[in-house]
Structure 1
Amino acid sequence: MEKTVFVYRATEERLEICQWQNIPDLVFTFLKVFPFIIVGIILMALISNPALSIAALAGPAMVGILLASVGGDSNYKAIYKRFRRDEVIWSEIRKVLLDERKGLLALSVDWENRVIDPAEVDLANKEHHIHLYPIYFRKDQEQAVLSLMKEKMAEGTSLMDGSYKYPFSG
């Protein structure tokens, strides 16, 4: 039920990237309604078999109350949807790997908290792909994205065709 939504905005100075998990609000509505379902089940169990201890049913009731409080909390929704916003300054892009098959550009960017120097990133070395920032595009928009990137990036920024390896994927 999850899919990640990417939104890009190109300005004169930078590329702004926003991403989040597009989780239907129905999930959070279910979390609010679920406790009432649990309470109904507990009451049915008590009515059908009075020998059941109320203490034995208190645990599921508390779980239901916890789920209701989580489902109604807007902060939890924001955290669970994993909203993230980044900015890439055009002049800080050093190298670009184009993977047409996956529909992405992987950028070697001169971040403040970089692990290695972007000039040292070898785009052909799959182990260096962990240091690249992926930008996704639809296949039908590939030419428009490439022309925008070529127009905005600094002179001398290298663009290489290749296959991007997702970090931490075996």
Structure 2
Amino acid sequence: MDDDPLFSGTLTLLFFTTVNIALASMTHQRMNFSYRFTESGLECCEWKDFPKWMLTFLKWLTAITAIMFIILASVDPAFLIGAIVGPGCIGLTYLAMANSKSYRDMHTQYHHLTYEWKDFTQLAIATNREVVDLKFTHFNQRLGRTISYSINIFREKKQKEIVANFIKPYLSPGVPFIKAKVNVPMSH
């Protein structure tokens, strides 16, 4: 196999592609949002769940790499160390993730945010995204200064106008209501 660069290159590419897809999937999890409108303001809960499919993937990856390294070890005994170390490390990673509540909690985020209607400075219907954008300013106690930010209410295209018209009466008089291109931050 040392003489066949195509085989070793293909094997290496397959391994790194599989690992990178798994890592990218863990870091790019889907965010869930829930909104509640009250007389005093807007509440937003956002959370990211730990991907349960990752544990199944690691279990199968351990088994597949063990079989692959055992086959390779039958061709060249030098792969015997890899047959023990590679799947063993993946298996230990699986066990650490499956049995560690603190690890799962670390990869699960939950935020409960509360905003008062008086703090909103602009209402925008996004022309380039499926969101209604609310800009606001408020004094942040932790930072000790006034901050400006946006909260995005994610909706289907047909519902953006309905949601914006529902919110508009709660805002202070004179708050601009526009249609504009909106940049959506990756996270709050």
Bin of the TM-score, shorter chain as denominator length: 0.5 to 0.7
Q: Deviations over 1:112-154 (max 9, x none)?
A: 1597665xxxxxxxxxxxx433222212222331222113223
Change (3 A) 1:105 1:151: same
* Structure 2 residue aligned with 1:128: none
* Structure 2 residue aligned with 1:161: 179
Q: Does 1:60 align with 2:78?
A: no
Q: Does 1:137 align with 2:164?
A: no
Secondary structure at 1:161 match in 2: strand
* Structure 1 residue aligned with 2:64: 37
Q: Deviations over 1:66-95 (max 9, x none)?
A: 431354245544544554443222221122
Amino acid at match of 1:164: V
Pairwise CA distance, 1:35: 1.9
Amino acid at match of 2:37: A
Structure (1/2) with the larger strand percentage: 2
* Structure 2 residue aligned with 1:11: 38
Greater relative contact order structure (CA < 8 Å, 6+ sep): 1
Q: Where do residues 91-102 of structure 1 align in structure 2 (5 Å cutoff)? A: 91-102=118-129
CA contact 1:32–1:67 (8 Å) conserved in 2: no
Amino acid at match of 2:41: R
Unaligned runs of 5+ in 2: 1-24
Unaligned runs of 5+ in 1: 119-130
User: Bigger CA drift: 19-28 or 95-104?
Assistant: 19-28
Distance 1:115 1:62 in 2: 51
Task: Say how many residue pairs are matched.
Answer: 155
Pairwise CA distance, 1:25: 3.3
CA contact 1:110–1:117 (8 Å) conserved in 2: yes
TM-score, normalisation: structure 2: 0.61
